[in-house]
Amino acid sequence: MEQLIESKLIKADKAFSVWRKVPFEERQKLIAKAAEILKNNSEKFGRIITTEMNKPISESIAEVEKCALMMNYYAAADNILKPEKVESEFAYSEVHYAPKGVILGVMPWNFPFWQVLRFATPAILAGNTIVLKHASICFGSGNAIEEVLLEAGLPEGIFQNLEVGHKAVKEILEHDAVKGVSLTGSGKAGGEVASIAGLNIKKSLLELGGSDAFIIFDDANLEEAAKAGVKSRLQNCGQTCTAAKRFIIDEKIENEFLPIFIEEYKKYEIGDPLHKETKLAGMARPDLADELEAQFNRALENGAEIIIPLERISENEFKPGLIRVQEGNPILKEELFGPLGMVMIAKNDEEALQMANDIPFGLSNSVWTANKDRQLFFIENLESGTVNINRMTSSDPRFPFGGSKASGYGTELSLLALKEFVTAKTIVGN
């Protein structure tokens, strides 16, 4: 292992021995200060995001502001990690929550600030220290986050950005100082990292891909659903795990809804990501565009029909595409990470549910209906970490976020996230 990385891991471990004893409320004050710095400099940090991965600047600024909102949520949160008294016959009868230590974060490029801080904030507040392996195109974002936390007053060693490639992850995770890992990324990357963590008996949290359903019924507000559906599919150029990817439409409204949806879809045109009015920019890298184009062609080879063609206009830019897909098309087992949506037609509620669930993923579905019984049917039966009713998917600091099936395990956001990287220690006796 490189001497610099070794020294940073040792530094993180030494910082942990002090940080774990800092009162929860004192940690909260520092988190609040970091949130203030982010909010006051959202355009500066947003420009870093856009420069690194092409996100429209308005979305990048919103990402930074959302980070500040989330951090303020934790800065004001109840301390659920206080020792808990348990009624028993013993003099000592408590549960204590002990932070685990140095936690490795392996984070992606699509939300370079949000993904990192969504994981790191509750972990740090719980008393852990963090080392970050960011995506190779986002080292600038990782360094900026480290600088923000230092400026806010967090001691050195609490959060460190490691400028390393993915091949270094195994050795870092196997290091004695590292006690757990949180990964947001592909299923392949998640499986590899979870295997290393498992072999070394270390805690892992995985937030992986999705192919979320956006289900529209005849009693929905069709105009509102169309606008929300297109935004959900095309924001961040479709490079979002929780984006709507499969539009399952009640056959009774196919002829009414699709024209509205298509008209809305065509409003998203490629623009300069540094212009604030731009809603759609290029993908983060040319190789990602290559992969999406290959998936589009495979879908067509297996019977998909073009509604709006996916047109490549540069090495990383597309005019957004939309295809009609039948059950059984292998593309339904994959995640489309880019500006390409899929339309499916369902005969009834049961078929819509079957279509929604018949994939490897289970992240965050969306159902559009005014019928309360129908809402309850999907709430109870959709196999996903989140079910949205008459709204597009968007994470909220107050609510748990995580997936089922191949979309991963563990909880981010909400107060529950504070307990992901702690050990529940039983204290019992006389």
- Distance, in Å, from the CA atom of 254 to the CA atom of 235, rounded to the nearest integer, reads 24
- Distance, in Å, from the CA atom of 65 to the CA atom of 36, rounded to the nearest integer, reads 10
- Distance, in Å, from the CA atom of 319 to the CA atom of 65, rounded to the nearest integer, reads 28
- Residue 357: closest CA among 323, 390, 392, 332: 332
Number of neighbouring beta carbons within 10 Å of residue 40: 10
- Distance, in Å, from the CA atom of 419 to the CA atom of 423, rounded to the nearest integer, reads 8
Q: Which long-range contacts (CB under 8 A, 24 or more apart) does 135-139 make?
A: 135/107, 135/108, 135/109, 136/165, 136/166, 137/52, 137/53, 137/109, 137/284, 137/285, 138/52, 138/53, 138/107, 138/109, 138/112, 139/163
DSSP characters over 404-420: EETTEES-BSTGGGGGT
In the annotation, is 138 catalytic?
no
Determine which one of 52, 207, 317, 334 is catalytic: 207
Amino acid letter for position 111: F
Helix (H, G, I), strand (E, B) or coil at 221: coil
* Residue 198 burial (C-beta neighbours within 10 Å; 0-12, 13-18, 19+): exposed
In the annotation, is 59 catalytic?
no
Number of neighbouring beta carbons within 10 Å of residue 220: 20
Phi, psi of 329 (to 5 degrees): -70, 125
The torsion region of residue 203 among left (phi > 0), alpha (psi -120 to 50) and beta comes to beta
Determine which one of 67, 237, 241, 412 is catalytic: 241
Catalytic residues: 207, 241
